[in-house]
Amino acid sequence: MDTKQHIAIFTTASLPWLTGTAVNPLFRAAYLAKDGARKVTLVIPWLKLKDQEHVYPNNITFKSPQEQAKYVLQWLEERIGFRSSFTIRFYPGRFSLTKRSILALGDITEVIPDEEADIAVLEEPEHLTWYHHGKRWKLKFRLVIGIVHTNYLEYVKREKNGQLQAFLLKYVNTWVVNIYCHRVIRLSAATQDLPRSVICNVHGVNPRFLDIGMKKREQQEHGDQPFSKGAYYIGKMIWSKGYKELLKLLCDNQKKLTGLEIDLYGSGEDSGQVEEAAKKLEITVRVHPGRDHGDPLFHDYKVFLNPSTTDVVCTTTAEALAMGKIVVCANHPSNEFFKQFPNCRTYEDDEGFVKETLKALQDQPAPLTDAQRHELSWEAAIERFLESAQLDNVVRKVVKTPSSKIVMSKSMSLKRNLEDASALVHYMGTSFLTKQPDEEICQDLGITVPPKKQTYPSRKWAF
């Protein structure tokens, strides 16, 4: 009888889109499954060709889910150095141009058979449940853990009527997370407070960045000069990803930063505007297309400038520290985890930014100790995850799982319980907002085409 924990990790993006919710859940699945003590399934979105062409870089597209799964596993194994033992499954998704993100179609809990529905990890639980219309996560799975990746409130504040939108979104997030999650892990205090939540960074760093840092440490120990380049920044090239803050800091302090040269790397909707703004500066700011942060091109940079305050825990900051670089970043809750490392320099204002940037360019980075390297690793991240989620205290019970119809019936019953009433209201409301997968995407995934429903004008709100 199988008594291993079954962990299904649902996320909102997939490679080759190199976004945090594509990369970090992938590593989490690999390292949770590494010792063979658990059965792990990573559940990622499958997009139709037209959406793939819009989302995935370098004209990469896939004809089938199997082809994409092969690509994902190959990419992963080239970086972790061991063969992955988890399973990849797909749910139907659609890219929303207005939200610049992938939204689920239909009831994605059906991807996991009832007999395997043990523990669910929702990477971005609010995102995955805004429009969820189907089985209730808490009744389908014995334990549901949400991991909050994104500071949605900060992004929304930058839009038209941002303060009002953020006010409403804050309560919607609290509502859906309370309905669908037993426990919540917030990667940093940059996210909103949520029911039954703890703050813990459960992300690690791709091991090849630690390997790069080890080589730099060896060069330093031998008296060599490991860094021959100055300052840079890398990120998706949209204004909200730190470019607005960085270019403003550079513009307002040009005279104090005379002689500074900085390279910006990224691709995105605002690339043209960023490049135009950079050309207007007196100091040298070169703008380049996006590249993988592990590319040898980045190895010799000494200083990583990251003024972003929209991140929850910035992956590229962790990668830069792992490579042995000095990081200059804002004194912000999203950077709290990084303050334990000597090479992390934080600033409060323009004066602090100028001071720390100039000092970093003059200093040599402190070599990472073995303990600091471990703290950045995925092994340490999994230890923190298991402790925060209390998974080591959860023993799998092999029981007969109710059929889908019974689970649906139970989840829709209006009990004398506020949470159940809220779940019913959400279920009714999402019937107007949620789109179902069409015939093409169902054929790709080998699933049954759902019956056609009446179209409501309000559905445009979801997409």
In this predicted structure, the answer to whether residue 457 has a pLDDT above a threshold of 70 is no
The pLDDT score that the predictor gives to residue 452 is 66
Average pLDDT, the chain: 89
The pLDDT score that the predictor gives to residue 3 is 77
Residue 165: HSE in the Cβ half-sphere, 13 Å Cα cutoff: 11
Q: CA 361, CA 291: separation in Å to the nearest integer?
A: 23
Share of the chain above pLDDT 70, in %: 92
Q: Check residue 367 and report its DSSP letter.
A: P
When pLDDT is averaged across residues 323-348 and rounded to a whole number, the result is 97
* CA dist list (Å): 328 to 22, 88, 184, 288, 345: 26, 37, 30, 20, 5
Considering only CA atoms, give the Rg of the chain. Answer: 23
Q: Encode pLDDT of 69-95 as tens digits.
A: 999 999 999 999 898 899 999 999 999
Q: Encode pLDDT of 367-382 as tens digits.
A: 999 999 999 999 999 9
Model confidence at 171, pLDDT cuts 50, 70, 90, reads very high
Domain ranges of the chain: 6-204+380-389, 207-376
* CA dist list (Å): 30 to 25, 45, 87, 211, 445: 9, 18, 10, 19, 23
The pLDDT score that the predictor gives to residue 2 is 63
Would you say the CATH fold of 207-376 matches that of 6-204+380-389? yes
Q: Looking at 150-159, 266-275, 390-399, which range is the least confident one? A: 390-399
3-state helix vs strand vs coil in the chain, percent to 5 = 45, 15, 40
CATH of domain 207-376: 3.40.50.2000
Query: In what helix (H) or strand (E) does residue 125 lie, and over which residues does it extend?
Result: helix 125-129
Helix, strand or coil, per DSSP, at residue 42: strand
Phi/psi at 414 (nearest 5 deg)?
-90, 100
The pLDDT score that the predictor gives to residue 97 is 83
Q: Encode pLDDT of 234-283 as tens digits.
A: 988 989 889 999 999 999 999 999 899 999 999 888 999 999 999 999 99
When pLDDT is averaged across residues 141-151 and rounded to a whole number, the result is 94
Q: Encode pLDDT of 111-133 as tens digits.
A: 999 999 999 999 999 999 998 98
Return the closest-CA partner of residue 201 out of 260, 142, 254, 148.
148
The class that CATH gives domain 6-204+380-389 is alpha beta
To the question of pTM greater than 0.75 for the whole model, the response is yes
In this predicted structure, the answer to whether residue 431 has a pLDDT above a threshold of 80 is no
Torsion of CA 335, 337, 338, 339, to 10 degrees: 90
Q: Encode pLDDT of 214-232 as tens digits.
A: 999 999 999 898 999 999 9
When pLDDT is averaged across residues 126-152 and rounded to a whole number, the result is 93
229: Cβ contacts below 8 Å, ≥ 6 apart: 263, 300, 301, 302
The pLDDT score that the predictor gives to residue 226 is 93
The pLDDT score that the predictor gives to residue 407 is 41
In this predicted structure, the answer to whether residue 147 has a pLDDT above a threshold of 70 is yes
Q: CA 31, CA 39: separation in Å to the nearest integer?
A: 11
